Amino acid sequence: RINKKIGYVGTLHSFLFRQLKKQCMNLVLLPEDDAIDLLKRLAKQINLWTKSTKKLSELRRTWSSRERKGESLDRGEDRLRSLFLSNMQAMECVDYDGILDYGLSGIESGMICGEVKHLLVDEFQDSSDLDVEIYQSMPCKTRFYVGDPRQAIYGFRGGNVENMYEYVDHSGFDIHELNENYRSVEEICSFSNSVADSAFQPMSSAIGNSDSAIMVLPMEDEMEELHFIANKTKHYLE
């Protein structure tokens, strides 16, 4: 319903994939696991045995950024990249990371995204360098970024919270800080302020105080944390 009234609402990947489909109707999104399997088969084919699944995934994700920075791949990595991209092209497929690569190229060439007038990005703190480059390349009249650097959780996918600090320091954007918290009590806000980055103003609670104390406990693993939360919840329900 929102899409019909104000425009497209969705992830950056889904938006760019729709745009790319307009240029190539047969384009298919290859699932990430299948893309990794293809990388593994090709790596084996050229005797690039040293690359684990994790390393191959990380390598794939850095191809475009390293190319834009003028960094060269070693001979084996460059051959793997060429084989992977040629196989994907032959299958008329694009993988998750490739959506952003081809999307940026399409924007810079003027082939896609020309109709975007206004851009609103949520969870901006989790944007990767490539995401930000795409946002900046879109020919928009206005840009509105919303995010909280305290909640950056996608570093493993290339999210770079420093992008948000860069905007605050150098962008010339109007900055509006929302420091009144309607979700957490004052004790939680105060504790969060004590461990948060000092670059941003502290939060205050709109809810008020609570009688509950905050506990900071070391946990060996996720299972121990799960048992603790379950037992604590059970205690409160009894």
Task: Please answer whether residues 189 and 182 qualify as being in contact, where contact means their C-beta atoms are separated by less than 8 angstroms.
Answer: no
For 195-219, letters b (16+ CB in 10 Å) and e give: eeeeebeebebeeeeeeeeeeeeee
For the segment 187-228, what is each residue's pLDDT rounded down to a tens digit?
A: 999 988 888 777 678 889 999 888 777 888 899 999 999 999
65 has pLDDT over 80: no
Q: What is the pLDDT of residue 1?
A: 67
How far is residue 229's CA from residue 238's CA, in Å, rounded to a whole number?
14
CB burial class (10 A; 0-12, 13-18, 19+) of residue 101? buried
148 has pLDDT over 70: yes
For the segment 97-123, what is each residue's pLDDT rounded down to a tens digit?
A: 999 999 999 999 998 888 888 999 999
pTM of the model: 0.79
For the segment 6-26, what is each residue's pLDDT rounded down to a tens digit?
A: 788 899 999 999 999 999 899
Task: Please answer whether residues 99 and 20 qualify as being in contact, where contact means their C-beta atoms are separated by less than 8 angstroms.
Answer: yes
Task: Please answer whether residues 20 and 95 qualify as being in contact, where contact means their C-beta atoms are separated by less than 8 angstroms.
Answer: no
Task: Please answer whether residues 210 and 185 qualify as being in contact, where contact means their C-beta atoms are separated by less than 8 angstroms.
Answer: yes
How far is residue 7's CA from residue 12's CA, in Å, rounded to a whole number?
14
The single-letter code of the amino acid at 68 is R
Q: How confident is the model at residue 161 (pLDDT cuts 50, 70, 90)?
A: confident
How far is residue 111's CA from residue 122's CA, in Å, rounded to a whole number?
25
Closest CA to 212 of 232, 234, 227, 238: 232
Dump the DSSP string for 122-190.
Answer: SSGGG-BHHHHHHHHHS--SEEEE---GGG---GGGTB-THHHHHHHHHS--------EESSS-HHHHH
Q: What is the pLDDT of residue 51?
A: 63
The token pair that represents 100 in the structure block: 């952003």
